[in-house]
Amino acid sequence: MGGIENIESNRIKETMLNLITTQLQNDGLKSFIFSFLTNKEEMNFANLTILHHQIFDRKDPELLNLAAAVELLVLSFDIFDDLEDLDNTEEPWMKIDHSIALNAATVLYTLSQQTVLSLSSPFKHQILASLLKYSIQAMEGQHDDLEDNIASEEDCLQMMKLKSGSLIALASVCGMQLAGENDKLVEEYAYQIGIAAQTDNDFRDLFNPLKNDMKNQKKSLAVLYLQRNYNEHANDLLKFYQSGLDIKEQFGSIENYKQKLLDSGVMQYLNVVKQIAINRASRMIDNLNINSEHKEFVKSILINKKT
């Protein structure tokens, strides 16, 4: 496609490793961070940065450095999140002393900012301002999630917009700004894609009943829906999550469990919320000031994979 170049994840990863190697002196710290990247194959946020630069028909030579900086920052947020939630115990940063993991995450967060500031682009300060803006929003969303004081669907959607949507907006807006562009629609549809992505996470969590969030009935769209007790199936599911049993112990099979989810209405509810967000994002992408071919390409990356 004209103007759009496929940049392999290996090139992004190599750039990330190079930034770590050249900017850090402590071999022990570098070794830990390298271990975090060993099994990392998907570079979703870096690719968002690249995509939103290229759709404006730009090819800045420092694009890979910016994309790597964004991916390093998001990795730091993943580590912070797991340490705070005590989840995803198989990740390499959860298998080491948590104080060391926390320090390494702080290094990654700082290194991402240093990388942006070292760009020669005339837009680097604008990019750094956006990186910090959306980082703070994501932290505010994480605070609301950790406090678990969410009382309504509106509160939950706002938390999802901040926690998940802000990071998608960060990657997308920074790529656009490196191209010298500034379209508010990019931020707005990124928020909607974030809500859709977080709704998918809520759905997946239903099939991981032993996860801390489910056992503790931490507020999510799914839990809020079930707590309304629309029917006996919803109440049965809430009791199940508190029981500590696995799916087969309680329901006999995954098929029986899926039927219980359907009977409760929670699966249908999450799908409706997701589709509303996707439809909103699609309409915004249609209004972007780029050629129609690039609009369809953005949709193929952000929307078609989620429908």
Structure confidence by residue, pLDDT tens digits, 17-67: 999 999 999 999 999 999 999 888 889 999 999 999 999 988 899 999 999
What was the pLDDT predicted at 244? Answer: 81
Alpha helix locations (H) across the chain? Answer: 9-23, 27-37, 44-54, 63-85, 98-117, 124-147, 153-160, 166-178, 184-205, 212-215, 221-227, 232-243, 247-251, 254-264, 266-286, 292-302
pLDDT band of 89, cuts 50, 70, 90: confident
What was the pLDDT predicted at 174? Answer: 98
Convert the pLDDT of each residue in 144-164 to its tens digit. Answer: 999 988 989 999 999 999 999
Neighbouring C-alpha atoms within 13 Å toward the C-beta of 241: 24
Q: Which of 137, 140, 169 is nearest to 52 (CA)?
A: 169
Between 242 and 76, name the one with better pLDDT.
Answer: 76
Q: How far apart are CA 247 and CA 104, in angstroms?
A: 36
Asked if residue 210 has pLDDT above 70, the reply is: no
Convert the pLDDT of each residue in 90-128 to its tens digit. Answer: 899 999 999 999 999 999 999 999 999 999 999 999 999
Tokens for 194? 């974030």
Asked if residue 212 has pLDDT above 80, the reply is: no
Neighbouring C-alpha atoms within 13 Å toward the C-beta of 12: 24
Mean pLDDT over 4-24 rounds to 89
What was the pLDDT predicted at 272? Answer: 97
Convert the pLDDT of each residue in 215-270 to its tens digit. Answer: 667 889 999 999 998 999 999 999 998 888 889 999 999 999 999 999 999 999 99
What was the pLDDT predicted at 213? Answer: 65
- Fold category of 1-230+265-303 in CATH: Farnesyl Diphosphate Synthase (1.10.600)
pLDDT band of 190, cuts 50, 70, 90: very high
Asked if residue 83 has pLDDT above 80, the reply is: yes
Tokens for 101? 């993991």
Q: How far apart are CA 58 and CA 77, in angstroms?
A: 28
What was the pLDDT predicted at 74? Answer: 97
Asked if residue 36 lies in contact with residue 75, where contact means CB atoms within 8 angstroms, the answer is yes
What was the pLDDT predicted at 114? Answer: 98
Residue 220: exposure state from Cβ atoms within 10 A (0-12, 13-18, ≥19): buried
Asked if residue 261 lies in contact with residue 237, where contact means CB atoms within 8 angstroms, the answer is yes
Q: How far apart are CA 101 and CA 83, in angstroms?
A: 8
What was the pLDDT predicted at 86? Answer: 87
What was the pLDDT predicted at 6? Answer: 66
Asked if residue 132 has pLDDT above 60, the reply is: yes
What was the pLDDT predicted at 217? Answer: 74
Contacts for 32-38: CB closer than 8 Å, 24+ residues apart: 32/93, 32/96, 32/100, 32/101, 32/104, 33/104, 33/107, 33/108, 35/92, 36/75, 36/79, 36/91, 36/92, 36/93, 36/104, 37/13, 37/75, 38/92
Q: How far apart are CA 125 and CA 138, in angstroms?
A: 20
- How many other C-beta atoms can be found within 10 angstroms of the C-beta atom of residue 279? 14
Asked if residue 109 lies in contact with residue 123, where contact means CB atoms within 8 angstroms, the answer is no
Domain boundaries, the chain: 1-230+265-303
